[in-house]
Amino acid sequence: MFGRLNHVGVATPSIARDRARYARLFGEAAVGEPLAMPDQGVTVCFVDAPNTQIELIEPLDDASPVAAFLARNPGGAQHHLCFEVADLDAALDAQAAAGARVLGAPRIGAHGTRIVFLHPREMGGVLIELMEAPDGGH
């Protein structure tokens, strides 16, 4: 059901700080530009690794759900794992049948495809993002 790991989300109080850190570790070319996503209350920035991406996530304001996460993890921390799925609706049906709790309705994510999150309580304590694969999973 789950496809490849698309990215690991890392909440940060400062994308600027972490962009510089990842540029030192991975090289300047691997670090993308920040993208504000006001409808989700965050700014994101992707770091390219050979087999996946790291998504840096900074809250736009205190109303962002990521702000509450950072209040518990002030230095920043891993926030979620994102897996690609070929058909988000089918994946949601399967996860609901398996007892997973879906957090909210699907929406458009930073990659331009539909996403949704699964509650960490049913996922071994890990927040899981399901992302409809940009190429339909092919």
Instruction: List the catalytic residues.
Output: 129
Average pLDDT score over residue span 118-135: 92
User: Is the pLDDT assigned to residue 116 strictly greater than 90?
Assistant: yes
Note the pLDDT tens digit of each residue in 26-78: 999 999 999 999 999 999 999 999 999 999 999 999 999 999 999 999 999 99
Record the pTM.
Answer: 0.93
Could you give the domains of the chain? 5-132 (3.10.180.10)
Q: Rounded to whole angstroms, how far apart are CA atoms 128 and 116?
A: 8
Asked whether 82 and 9 are in contact (CB, 8 A), the reply is: yes
| Cα–Cα dist 4/25, whole Å | 24
User: Maximum distance among all alpha carbons in the chain?
Assistant: 44
- CB count within 10 Å of CB 121 equals 10
Percentage of residues of the chain with pLDDT beyond 90: 90
